[in-house]
Amino acid sequence: MAAAELKDALEDAREVDLTVTGRKSGNETKRPVWFVIEGDRLVLMPVGGSGANWYRNLVANPEVGLAGG
């Protein structure tokens, strides 16, 4: 999906379902995550801060899945 299509698809949303791969288990997990759009960037907001497991998993394996929340 092109960046413009993603931006249009998320225009009325404030949350996405993010699927990440566990850094230790290798299992996929899905959870709702808040986001903001800044220009051409989709910025995910880790409510639990950078210590949140989903965020640490994302850092370890940056390939993710997104679905509208």
End-to-end CA gap in the chain: 17
pLDDT digits (tens, 9 = 90+) for 5-64: 777 777 888 888 889 999 999 999 998 888 888 887 888 887 777 788 888 999 999 998
Q: Of the candidates 21, 23, 49, 25, which has an alpha carbon nearest to the alpha carbon of residue 33?
A: 49
Quick check: pTM over 0.75? no
Give the residue numbers spanning the domain of 32.
Answer: 3-68
Tell me what pLDDT residue 69 has.
Answer: 58
Q: How many domains does the chain have?
A: 1
Comparing CA positions, the residue from 30, 55, 59, 52 lying closest to residue 44 is 55
Q: What is the CATH number of the domain that holds 52?
A: 2.30.110.10
